[in-house]
């Protein structure tokens, strides 16, 4: 086992990983920007080191500075969390060159799955259903429009690299096609340095379901069942749950899990990862992408399976084999996660900047809070505005929702505007309560 691990991240995920290190009796090292100098998660670490600057590019994306600090402090491994450098194959390779273990999959697997075009082709070869579409590499607008003529509108133009809804356009008619392709390519180039796009059939009524996988370096590759993440705003998830309300058929659950495992095996995957699918009302599912990292929503899987994903990422990176078999993993009860953001729903969800005057998280049976804030924490414009994740567990979905409503009402977070009232509105909608949670839910309701 490692003696010292550097956490190359910030906020609630940094705190989560520091606690995982402490559980394994590992010295946890935090890095922090000038904006995060007084952050509670940084103080929780055994050692902490400053990075000059406040922007993400100067700090949490600064590969050279992070590797220099890791080497200087004697860290044997780096955990990237999610976001920032977590899916950067170049950084993972640079860690290996320095003799530092990157806690995640191999650079090769990351590179293959990081490209939506490559991963789509690997999925197809592995027998995993893919959305009807065309790879836009090397095709001009006219050639691309001809190539997708067999696909009925609406269609989706999306960047091959990156995520978060950037480089993505929904096209309703042929008249909009050329401008949408140009806009998507331009945004993809600006966001990811790569204007490679894909064009696929767009499903207006669809569910976003993902399968959690966990694999060691000894040939053991398991799935930890599914999460439904259909409640999304601007392609960003805000409420996730497990099991998925859309899946009422154990055979569909089994086929999706087998498809996810097949895809991961095709790239010799190790560590935690998530294979994302879309599912239609008829029970057809299609591969969307693979996230080669720990997901924001990993706590709900931990609550329904009892398996600590963060701890097992570290154990796997240290060479330990998984001690459990697929037949031993069960879904128990129901879990829901809500992401609490410093943003104003009444004003187009503008980020809310300022100091948190008072913060008191909820508590009680079946309530978990992953956060990186306290009273007095400054919310700055430099990073993602997510403040905390509130997770509840119940014996069934109705109980989990009831606990979530109570937990959100108990949460005291003053000084900045948050989306808590918005989350409560969603949770109390009859359609949500009945499990009608497609990806266009927020637009519809």
Dump pLDDT digits (tens) for 262-301. 999 999 999 999 999 999 988 899 999 999 999 999 999 9
Beta bridge partners of 241: 228, 336
Dump pLDDT digits (tens) for 44-62. 999 999 999 999 999 999 9
Residue pair 247/280 in contact (Cβ under 8 Å)? The answer is no
Rounded mean pLDDT of 365-375?
Answer: 98
Residue pair 241/209 in contact (Cβ under 8 Å)? The answer is no
Beta strands per DSSP E along 131-176: 133-135, 155-159, 168-171
Residue numbers annotated as active site: 293
Residue 136: CB atoms within 10 A of its CB come to 25
Say whether pLDDT at 167 is over 80: yes
Distance CA 109, CA 365 (A): 39
Say whether pLDDT at 204 is over 80: no
Which residues lie closer than 8 Å to 58 by C-beta, 6 or more apart? 33, 51, 52
Rounded mean pLDDT of 18-39?
Answer: 97
Rounded mean pLDDT of 312-338?
Answer: 98
| Helix 107-114 × helix 89-97 angle, to 10° | 170
Question: What is the reported pLDDT for 211?
Answer: 98
Question: What is the reported pLDDT for 234?
Answer: 82
Question: What is the reported pLDDT for 117?
Answer: 85
Question: What is the reported pLDDT for 287?
Answer: 96
Q: Tell me the two tokens of residue 399.
A: 């109980």
Banded pLDDT at 164 (limits 50, 70, 90): low
Three-class SS of 4-20:
EEEECCCHHHHHHHHHH
Place of tokens 């609406």: 154
Rounded mean pLDDT of 211-220?
Answer: 98
Question: What is the reported pLDDT for 116?
Answer: 83
DSSP state of 391: E
Distance CA 275, CA 261 (A): 9
Q: String of b and e for 87-117 (b: at least 16 CB within 10 Å)?
A: bbbebbbbbeeeebbbbbbbbebbbbbbbbb
Strands 367-371 and 358-360: unpaired
Banded pLDDT at 172 (limits 50, 70, 90): very high
Rounded mean pLDDT of 98-116?
Answer: 95
Q: Tell me the two tokens of residue 305.
A: 């399976």
């Amino acid at each position: 086992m490692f003696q010292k691990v550097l956490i190359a991240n910030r906020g609630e995920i940094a705190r989560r990983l520091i606690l995982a290190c402490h559980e394994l009796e590992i010295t946890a090292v935090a890095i922090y920007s000038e904006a995060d100098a007084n952050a509670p998660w940084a103080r929780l670490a055994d050692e902490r080191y400053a990075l000059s600057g406040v922007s993400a590019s100067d700090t949490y994306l600064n590969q050279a500075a992070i590797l220099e600090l890791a080497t200087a402090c004697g860290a044997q491994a780096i955990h990237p969390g999610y976001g920032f450098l977590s899916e950067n194959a170049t950084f993972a390779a640079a860690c290996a060159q320095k003799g530092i273990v990157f806690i995640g999959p191999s650079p090769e697997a990351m590179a293959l799955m990081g490209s939506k075009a490559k991963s789509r082709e690997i999925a197809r070869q592995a027998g995993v259903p893919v959305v009807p579409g065309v790879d836009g590499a090397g095709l001009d607008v006219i050639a691309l429009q001809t190539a997708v003529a067999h696909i009925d509108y609406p269609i989706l133009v999306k960047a091959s690299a990156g995520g978060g809804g950037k480089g993505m356009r929904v096209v309703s008619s042929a008249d909009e096609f050329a401008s949408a392709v140009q806009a998507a390519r331009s945004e993809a180039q600006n966001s990811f340095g790569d204007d490679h796009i894909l064009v696929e059939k767009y499903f207006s009524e669809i569910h976003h379901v993902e399968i959690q996988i966990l694999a060691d370096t000894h040939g053991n590759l398991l799935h930890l069942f599914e999460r439904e993440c259909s409640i999304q705003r601007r392609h960003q998830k805000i409420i996730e749950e497990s099991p998925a309300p859309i899946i009422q058929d154990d055979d569909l659950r089994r086929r999706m899990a087998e498809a996810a495992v097949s895809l991961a095996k095709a790239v010799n995957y190790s560590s935690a990862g998530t294979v994302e699918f879309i599912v239609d009302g008829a029970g057809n599912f299609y591969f969307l992408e693979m996230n080669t990292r720990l997901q924001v929503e990993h706590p709900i899987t931990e609550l329904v399976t009892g398996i600590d994903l963060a701890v097992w990422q570290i154990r796997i990176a240290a060479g330990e084999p998984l001690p459990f078999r697929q037949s031993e993993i069960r879904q128990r009860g129901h879990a829901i996660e809500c992401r609490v953001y410093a943003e104003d729903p009444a004003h187009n969800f503008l980020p809310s900047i300022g100091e948190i005057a008072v913060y008191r998280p909820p508590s009680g049976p079946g309530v978990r809070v992953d956060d990186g804030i306290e009273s007095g924490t400054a919310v700055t414009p430099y990073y993602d505005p997510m403040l905390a994740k509130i997770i509840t567990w119940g014996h069934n979905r109705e109980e989990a929702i009831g606990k979530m409503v109570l937990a959100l009402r108990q949460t005291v977070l003053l000084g900045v505007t948050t989306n808590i009232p918005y989350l409560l509105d969603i949770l109390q909608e009859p359609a949500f309560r009945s499990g009608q949670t497609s990806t266009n839910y927020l637009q519809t309701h």
